[in-house]
């Protein structure tokens, strides 16, 4: 019989053995905590029993990985899961919508998911999912690339930080509602920096140094073949922190995705303190008092920055095609792309055909629908917003501040808008003037 998992070498299994051992230790500590704090069921059984069982399973999994030879290994994701997962769940459209739903859940269900038990279950689920996925060769290829390891670590650290901030925000919002002092106002006496801060810093530095040295020993920095300007790798990727921008190249030309939008992101970040007129929420975690600011920021940071980096790093393969997490990066994968411009929609829709010619007037006439749309979007929409839905903002901000604010919001929205137009109508350019490199 053919070996179903020829790639599960013993080093992979031993690595996973350590992984499950750590997972076991984590859950073992949690079991003790649960035994002490959660009490018993009515029949006298400790509530920690479930955790104890789960921990034992993890320990046995760890032992199994350490001892079992690669042949006929039992614990792995079945093809019956991986193939449909790649086929039905792996495309940029669903990915983007899931990140949006995730953001919505993050905010709407914040009282629920920040509970230690719930979040611990979620953490366990994601770690177990990752552990099982690591038995897949293609998943390991991409997640285990040395430069990608920090990104995986970042995702867990980011999740942890988000958890802390939301937990504290939920707590503070409750305190505000009940008229109690904020968490940050309790025990807020002045203390001496020596020893309270300098020792924290010292410990932090020692731990970090140890982490960096361990990391440097455990994982070699990548070094590929000597650089050659003739051999173009496929895919060619920018450094990982720019992959969100590279992903935008699918929807926008380089002048927008690579120059204008990054500049606007930075300009917009710098403008934040000057357009956020809300005096509340200064120096403590809260959500309710700054719901708009925090939602907007999270929208920009989580789905539009971090999730796009994850997409660009882990899910974009040769020719920048989308690949499922268990899918082989096939250079010959073909994705049909028949995208058409707004001008073609418009003029063909009128039954007239595109105005032909390369004169200035012809080009402007040809692209008139798109140009009007863009002008309307950036020039007509802000005043309309100002006297309708965003009226309160307009009144409190004044004209100039409001124009900057509304334009930044509109700039932020053009990426998801263009994505939706692309997916729904195969729209290539809203304004397409390749003669001047002016495509939007």
Partner 1 sequence: MSVGEYIRNSQIWKSVFRHPAPTDRRNRVVVMLTNFFLHLHPVSIKQQGIALSYTWCMGGITFFLFLVEAITGVLLMFYYRPTLEWAFYDIQALRDVQTLGIMREIHRWGAHAMVITVWLHMYRVFLTGSYKPPREFNWVIGVLLLVLTLLLSFTGYLLPWDQLAIWAITVGSNMAKATPFLGVEGPGFQVFNTSGYELITNASDAKFLLLGGRFVGEATLNRFYILHCVAIPIVVSGLTAIHFWRIRKDGGISQPL
**Positive/negative CA dihedral, 244, 248, 254, 259:** negative
Of positions 10, 188, 348, 362, contacts partner 1 by CB under 8 A: 188
- Which positions from 299 through 328 interact with partner 1, judged by CB under 8 A? 301
Alpha carbons 330 and 254: distance in angstroms, whole number:
26
Using the rule CB under 8 A, give the single segment among 88-96, 110-118, 282-290, 368-376 that binds partner 1: 282-290
**Binding status of residue 83 toward partner 1 by CB under 8 A:** no
CA-nearest of 64, 237, 52, 218 to 135 is 64
**Binding status of residue 282 toward partner 1 by CB under 8 A:** yes
- Which positions from 196 through 235 interact with partner 1, judged by CB under 8 A? 196-198, 200-201, 204-205, 208-209, 212-213, 215-217, 219-229, 231-233
Sequence-ordered list of residues with C-beta below 8 angstroms from that of 114, at least 6 positions apart, any chain: 163, 166, 167, 170
Between 257 and 385, name the residue whose CB sits nearer to partner 1.
257
Between 209 and 339, name the residue whose CB sits nearer to partner 1.
209
Between 54 and 287, name the residue whose CB sits nearer to partner 1.
287
**Binding status of residue 242 toward partner 1 by CB under 8 A:** yes
Q: Are 287 and 110 in contact (CB under 8 A)?
A: yes
**Binding status of residue 194 toward partner 1 by CB under 8 A:** yes
Alpha carbons 138 and 140: distance in angstroms, whole number:
5
What are the C-alpha distances in Å from 255 to residues 99, 110, 311, 438? Answer: 26, 38, 21, 8
Of positions 260, 374, 381, 410, contacts partner 1 by CB under 8 A: 260
Q: Are 369 and 342 in contact (CB under 8 A)?
A: yes
**Binding status of residue 360 toward partner 1 by CB under 8 A:** no
Alpha carbons 238 and 245: distance in angstroms, whole number:
9
Using the rule CB under 8 A, give the single segment among 100-108, 145-153, 361-369, 402-410 that binds partner 1: 145-153
Least CB distance from residue 186 to partner 1, whole Å? 9
Tokens representing residue 390 in the block: 């965003």
**Binding status of residue 192 toward partner 1 by CB under 8 A:** yes
| Burial of 304 from C-beta contacts in 10 A (0-12 / 13-18 / 19+) | buried
Site size for partner 1 (CB under 8 A): 90
Of positions 4, 93, 94, 191, contacts partner 1 by CB under 8 A: 191
Alpha carbons 421 and 29: distance in angstroms, whole number:
49
**Binding status of residue 111 toward partner 1 by CB under 8 A:** no
Using the rule CB under 8 A, give the single segment among 48-56, 75-83, 273-281, 348-356 that binds partner 1: 273-281
């Amino acid at each position: 019989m053919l070996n179903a998992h020829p790639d599960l070498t013993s080093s992979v299994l031993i690595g996973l053995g350590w992984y499950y051992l750590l997972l076991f230790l984590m859950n073992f500590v949690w079991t003790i905590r649960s035994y002490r704090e959660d009490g018993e069921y009515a029949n006298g059984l400790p509530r920690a029993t479930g955790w104890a069982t789960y921990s034992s399973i993890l320990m046995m999994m760890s032992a199994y990985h350490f001892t079992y030879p690669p042949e006929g290994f039992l614990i792995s994701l079945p093809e019956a899961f991986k193939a449909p997962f790649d086929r039905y769940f792996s495309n940029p459209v669903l990915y983007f919508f899931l990140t949006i739903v995730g953001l919505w859940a993050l905010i709407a269900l914040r009282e629920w998911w920040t509970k230690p038990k719930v979040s611990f279950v979620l953490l366990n689920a994601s770690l177990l999912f990752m552990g099982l996925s690591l038995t897949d060769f293609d998943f390991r290829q991409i997640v285990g690339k040395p430069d990608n390891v920090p990104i995986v670590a970042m995702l867990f650290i980011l999740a942890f930080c988000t958890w802390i901030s939301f937990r504290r925000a939920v707590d503070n919002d409750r305190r505000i509602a009940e008229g109690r002092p904020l968490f940050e106002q309790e025990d807020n006496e002045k203390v001496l920096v020596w020893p309270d801060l300098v020792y924290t810093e010292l410990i932090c530095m020692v731990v970090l140094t140890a982490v960096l040295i361990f990391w440097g020993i455990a994982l070699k920095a990548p070094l590929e073949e000597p650089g050659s300007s003739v051999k173009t790798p496929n895919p060619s990727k920018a450094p990982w922190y720019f992959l969100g921008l590279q992903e935008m190249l699918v929807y926008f030309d380089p002048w927008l995705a690579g120059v204008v939008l990054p500049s606007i992101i930075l300009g917009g970040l710098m403008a934040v303190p000057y357009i956020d007129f809300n005096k509340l929420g200064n120096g403590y975690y809260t959500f309710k008092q700054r719901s708009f600011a925090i939602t907007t920021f999270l929208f920009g940071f989580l789905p539009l920055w971090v999730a796009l980096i994850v997409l660009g790093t882990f899910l974009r393969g040769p020719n920048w095609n989308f690949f499922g997490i268990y899918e082989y990066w096939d250079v010959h994968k073909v994705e049909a792309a028949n995208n058409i411009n707004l001008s073609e929609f418009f003029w063909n829709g009128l039954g007239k055909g595109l105005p032909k010619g390369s004169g200035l007037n012809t080009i402007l006439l040809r692209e008139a629908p798109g140009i009007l749309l863009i002008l309307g979007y950036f020039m007509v929409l802000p005043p309309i917003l100002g006297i309708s839905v965003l009226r309160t903002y307009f009144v409190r901000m004044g004209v100039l501040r409001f124009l900057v604010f509304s334009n930044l919001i509109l700039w932020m929205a053009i990426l998801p808008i263009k994505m939706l137009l692309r997916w729904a109508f195969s729209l290539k350019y809203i304004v397409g003037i390749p003669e001047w490199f002016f495509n939007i």
